[in-house]
Amino acid sequence: MKGLVFAACCLAATLPCLAQPREQRKPEKDTIRTTVIAADKGAGMRSLMTQEALVNRADLPEGHARTAEQLLRMMPAIDIRERGGKSVQTDICIRGGSFDQTMVQLNGIDFTDARTGHQSHSLPIDADLLAGMDLVEGIGGNTGLTGAVNMRTLRSDRRFLRANLTGGSHGYAYGNLSGSTRAAGDRLTLFGAGSYRRSDGYQPGTDFANWNAYTRATYITPKHGTIDAQAGWQKRDFGAAGFYSLAFPDQYEKTATALGSVRWMKASGRLTFDHWIAYRKNFDCFQLIRGDESYVPYNHHQTDNYGAHAAVGYQWTAGTTTLVANYASNVILSTVLGDPIKAGQVRESRLQVKGYDRTYTKYKVRHTGDAFLRHEWTGRTVALQLSAGAAFSPYGAAPLWNAHFDWRPAGGWHFDAGLAQSMRLPTFTDLYYNAPGHKGNPDLQPERALTARAGVVFAARPFGFALTGFYRHGDHVIDWVREHADAEWHSMQITELNTYGADFKAEYRGGSWLHRATLLYGYIRTGKESSGLISAYALDYLRNKLGVSMDLRPWNGRFALQLDGTLYDRIGNYAAADGSTQAYRPYCLLNANVSYETKWIRNGSLRIYLEGENLTGTRYFDFGGLLMPGLWLNAGVVVQL
């Protein structure tokens, strides 16, 4: 009830702002949703329907302590389920789907984890480094059943050096150093960043330490095209108090990730080329009882994920026809996941678990690929895209296709509609994870979905709104369920799961005082209830999300005040620590950020900020009885040269 009252008050406070007189300005580009019909860099030229801008850097203050995942909480189509403070373990879900059904991209490159979607979000970047985040829908291939979240890093056209130092509640400390420069007659852009984030935890077993390092280089020449390379490294250690089982409140996890990609793009006459190769390596050590493996030995995993993409487009009088092919290889060495290693199957030097007196005993390799033929036609106000192809995997070949229609009449209006067939392979965890309280299923088959969506956007300063409706018919949807609180979790497939809903976002963008006011709402329902089962993912979805935010930037933008409040209403049940079955309750989160910037030297700036998360100290759960942090205060300084 308190959450509903708060949301109503926020809405009442925002409506007068939305009703202010409209300024006489020239209409600007749609800032709510961008629909991509031509070959798109952000989606890696896969088959796609739309690309929607979720977060733009221009809408964020330079000083803030939130993570990229926390920024996504205010997006109506995205469900963020955190298991600890500062997004140390986060699941990203799209329109009622599960975290395993979400593809995660970094600058258009697929870095989704084949072992478990719990790790897909673990990229070596911070929110400080982001130029924006996009929602990409209608993606083909063997991942991304419900779509992809593409995180775009900065590729600055200017030289700068920036430092962000933050401290806060629960022993929180964060430091980030980033910079960009140009060389070779401004054809070469170099960007790099490093960061450290840590906390003592808001309750026992929630401490963490996180190291990130990232670099990106872009070289552009008219003759040779564009070469875009990136590389990153991450090390994470975190207390996982009850993350995977409330019966074991002292869990712990250590991960290390290295990734990189090289991409080449070029236009030559009527031809366009877009090719890339990528690699991601991940080490994981999970401790069911922190520092003690006498009861259950530690789980060790080492995964190698290779990817390659090739696309060639031809422009002619009827539009652009593009041939697209993708290949991926996923290799896992583990003490738990996979098939028993046979003699001579893996080199002896690879079997030793780094840093431990253990050897890997399980192994699995999976090769997948897909190929598409896509045609796009763009008129003055109308565009049409058709794509057809197939995905290939050890489960056989599966047809994939999509169709998308786009209409942009005059006056800032934009209408689009699409239909797409997609699929997702089971993760290695879905198939093979067997541990106390959990039992995988090696007989699982790929998930498939047919998704229809339609949307309308209006954008003409200072007002704009976007409304999207969707329907998704899922077949053989994978979920982890159990019959009661004392039963073990087991992976199974739901024969059919029909999901439908709508999300709405309205904005007012004013001048220097009221920079922006936003109202959002998301609604989702499925055609199958839990039937008494306790569902971990597929049947525990965010039924309602209502949010309001205001961004005030008076005094020529030197002072900034941001307020946002969001009501979350999740359907489903969970097993509490006392063994009882509880229903999720609605909750509301209120956050605020205040900052002040001053020019302290020529071409330099200093910004100080204070940020509060969960200002009302709301007790809430994103996942099965895992209590999230209460009030969390941060203060920091950003220095830029």
Q: For 131-176, write each residue's pLDDT tens digit.
A: 999 999 877 778 889 999 999 998 777 789 999 999 999 999 999 9
Q: Encoding tokens for residue 462?
A: 């200072």
Residue 47 pLDDT grade (very low, low, confident, very high; cuts 50, 70, 90): low
Per-residue model confidence as pLDDT tens digits over 613-630 = 999 999 998 988 899 999
Which helix (DSSP H) or strand (DSSP E) does residue 215 occupy? strand 208-221
Q: Which range scores top for mean pLDDT: 4-13, 54-63, 503-512?
A: 503-512
d(CA 93, CA 575): 21
Per-residue model confidence as pLDDT tens digits over 64-120 = 778 999 999 999 999 999 999 999 999 999 999 988 999 999 999 999 999 988 888
pTM for this model (two decimals) = 0.89
- What is the chain's Cα-based Rg? 24
Per-residue model confidence as pLDDT tens digits over 18-45 = 333 333 333 333 334 433 323 334 444 4
Q: Could you tell me the residue range of the domain that residue 599 belongs to?
A: 2-640
How many Cβ atoms sit within 10 Å of the Cβ of residue 325?
A: 15
Q: Which ranges constitute the DSSP H helices of 420-577?
A: 428-432
Per-residue exposure over 76-109, b if at least 16 CB sit within 10 Å of its own CB, e if not: bbbbbbbbbbbbbbbbbbbbbbbbbbbbbbbbbb
pLDDT, position 631: 97
Which helix (DSSP H) or strand (DSSP E) does residue 8 occupy? helix 2-18
- Tell me: cis bond preceding 446? Omega within 30 of 0 counts: no
d(CA 537, CA 453): 23
Per-residue model confidence as pLDDT tens digits over 234-250 = 999 999 988 887 888 89
The pLDDT of 306-323, averaged and rounded, is 96
Per-residue model confidence as pLDDT tens digits over 288-311 = 999 999 989 999 999 999 999 999
Is pLDDT above 90 for 505?
yes
| Count of the separate structural domains present in the chain | 1
d(CA 560, CA 566): 20
| Residue 157 belongs to domain with CATH number | 2.40.170.20
Out of 223-227, 374-378, 459-463, 493-497, which region has the weakest mean confidence (pLDDT)? Answer: 493-497
d(CA 297, CA 570): 35
d(CA 204, CA 235): 21
d(CA 503, CA 495): 26
pLDDT, position 17: 34
d(CA 238, CA 202): 12
